[in-house]
Amino acid sequence: MARTIPIEKIRNIGIMAHIDAGKTTTTERMLFYSGYLHKIGEVDEGTAFMDYMEQERERGITIMSAAVTTYWQNHQVNIIDTPGHVDFTSEVQRSLRVLDGAIAVLCAVGGVEPQTERVWHQANEFRVPRIAYINKMDRMGADFSHVIQMMIDKLYANPIPVQIPIGAEDDFEGIIDLIKMKAYYFDIETLGAEYNISDIPENMIEIAQNYKGNLIEKIAEFDDNILEKYLANEVISEDEINTSLRKGTISLKCVPVFCGSSFKNIGVQTLLDGVIKYLPSPSDIGYVEGEDANDPDKIIKVKLSDDEPFSALSFKVLSDTFLGRLNFIRIYSGAIKVGQAIENSTINKKERISKIFRIYSNKREEIPEAYSGEIVAIPSLKFTTTGDTLCNGRMVIFEKIRFLEPVIDMSIEAKTQADQEKMLQALGKLADEDPTFRYKFDEDSGQIIISGVGELQLEIAVDRLKSEFNIDARAGKPQVSYRETINQTVLEDYHFERVIAGKNQIGDVTVELSPNERGKGIEIKNLINDKSIPKNIVDIALEGITEAVQMGLQGYPMVDIIAKLIKIQYIEGLTSETGIKIASSMAVKSALNRIDTVLLEPIFKVEIVSPEQYVGDIISDLNARKGRVEGIDTRGNLQVVVGYAPLSNLFGYVTDLRSLSQGRASFTMVFSHYNIINS
């Protein structure tokens, strides 16, 4: 089976936003108008095609990123609908890692919200071109121009509206295309599938002209051809504007902005047109960088082409009821066929392609081969996990995906011993799917401890144990997952000498521990330049240091430490690998005991939206929780309180906030940083 869609006509896009901005609703309409769905599913009714998990349908939220392939204007569009809740940010992160473009959905009322900022910065990190869609223009309080300003002020973006709304709130009835300078009205009877194009209403001609003038001025800032024509008062054609906007979008110089109401079936088709017009194909991206598996210092530029050797990144693992372990991969170069042998270059293991599937949410289409630019799923890979590189013919390793560390622990136990063993297997599958979810057996308590980035994530995990694995587990109360660090520098010499298994094991090392910048993690540095010391001896010393510095004296993971290997006293014939490793490990532990460690607690950024009359009580309550108010903003007729507070004082906050505001306030919280307790 040869490629049927040229790589230039492929779009790999994600839908990203804050919770309740309308991502899934928008995706449902895109699938309906493109002909993939014959009936529109609704999130509130639990019938959304993209929300296929039981927990998603019950709660009306997206938990797992879902992929689907559809077609628009003779283009193949691979869509990933990502979660909006902060507890499932890892799903957004790994999706953005492999996508070529994204649609940022913003609520016309709420605008740029905390999770919007988070996913936007993630997209910046991965240099993902974006278009924006201001949704819910029919909602009370909708304000198009205010959201545009929020994009400038909070996201530091360069938004360029290519559409403006006709009316707002109950008066919202259509959109104006600023490039064509035409009005679009969507037919209610056909659920928006048909629409009429007409002249701009007289009362909006001047407004549209001002927006059009601003559009031209904006693209003239980064396009010299447009600038010359603009200064010469020459006519600038639609094609020239679209070409300029496409270049500006792909180079991250601008963000074209669309608008509509997905629930009311207004504006989604023109948004799909924008995906084709402005977001890149894989060939527009050109190449991705990876390191040579045989020489980590050498960078390989992988061209996104069928003619190159095969390379791909595994970005997601899913436990499928029928297929078992399923790896989602993004193919960057070359092609793969069923039966082909490939390499996992990250861990130097061989794998074999037994089947290839094109993904349609929770449905699969088996295909014989797949090409560069595609996103597909492969079952039964024995060794490959999230972040691993797969290749053939050229040993390249792409940068691994970095995830948030867990900040919340919860104890769980099964009712029977048989269920306990089943539960460990089930937790292994959940941890395989979600890199931010961890579990361990606590020997002191005899309990299993699960860890994650938020309460909802852990609650969902316990729910899935019951619904998917038929395990009735009792869960304890959430607990803070603390970290340990040091706040002073210490130098430690350690000599180890002992007879082990009849052989004298000797090691003598000097290690220095010092504080690292907050958030920098653990850094291991080798300061030994003595070439007479064998490389294996140095490597084993570094290994001993690395292992010892992971866990602190109080039983919590260590962070933000610089560990330096200063000296090895090497005596040929006497110094042993075992002795050096033990000496290195003991040097770290001895150093920590000399200076003690300090506990760090996770600090969360909170954003509380409330009517003004409750703000005073909310601020007082936040202060009582050892929080700090950073500022107060106005959003329509509501007040937005932004502050920081320790996670330990935010458990159950949703209930207390309802009580303080008579149920009228809402809040979001995202992890910000670790701080020394009581500092």
Helix axis angle, 89-98 to 114-125, nearest 10°: 30
Fold agreement (408-481, 600-676): yes
Cα(30)–Cα(565) distance, integer angstroms = 57
554 conformational bin, left if phi > 0, alpha if psi -120 to 50, beta if neither: alpha
Please give the class, per CATH, of domain 600-676: alpha beta
pLDDT of residue 59: 45
Which stretches of the chain score pLDDT less than 50?
44-53, 55-57, 59, 61-63
CATH architecture of 487-596: 2-Layer Sandwich (3.30)
Asked if the 408-481 domain carries CATH number 1.10.10.10, the reply is: no
| Contact indicator for 70, 31 with CB cutoff of 8 Å | yes
Give the Cα separation of 383 and 394 in Å (integer): 19
Nearest to residue 254, comparing CAs of 269, 237, 241? Answer: 241
Q: Residue 457: name the closest of 440, 474, 433 by CA.
A: 433
Do 89 and 118 form a contact (C-beta atoms < 8 A)? yes
- The per-residue pLDDT for range 261-312, each reduced to its tens digit, is 999 999 999 999 999 999 999 999 988 999 998 888 899 999 999 999 999 9
Nearest residue to 248 (alpha-carbon basis) of 210, 276, 217, 279: 279
Q: CA 172, 178, 183, 187 torsion: positive or negative? A: negative
Residue ranges covered by each domain of the chain: 7-200+254-284, 292-398, 408-481, 487-596, 600-676
For 268-406, strand residue ranges (E) read 287-292, 295-303, 311-320, 324-333, 335-337, 341-344, 349-352, 356-360, 363-367, 369-371, 375-379, 389-391, 396-398
Query: SS3 of 578, please?
Result: helix
Residue with tokens 């260590």: 558
Choose among 370, 363, 384, 306: nearest CA to 338.
Answer: 370
Question: In this predicted structure, what is the pLDDT of residue 485?
Answer: 94
pLDDT score of 440: 87
402 close to 292: Cβ distance less than 8 angstroms: no
Provide the pLDDT for residue 53.
46
Give the rounded distance of the alpha carbon of 40 from its chain centre: 27
First to last CA, the chain: 64
**According to CATH, what is the number of the domain 7-200+254-284?**
3.40.50.300
Is the sign of the CA dihedral 537, 540, 542, 545 positive or negative? Answer: negative
**Integer Cα distance of 158 and 218 in angstroms:** 9
CATH topology of domain 292-398: Elongation Factor Tu (Ef-tu); domain 3 (2.40.30)
Q: How would DSSP label each residue in 125-138? A: HTT--EEEEEE-TT
Q: Count of residues for the chain?
A: 679
Helix (H) / strand (E) element for 618: namely: helix 615-624
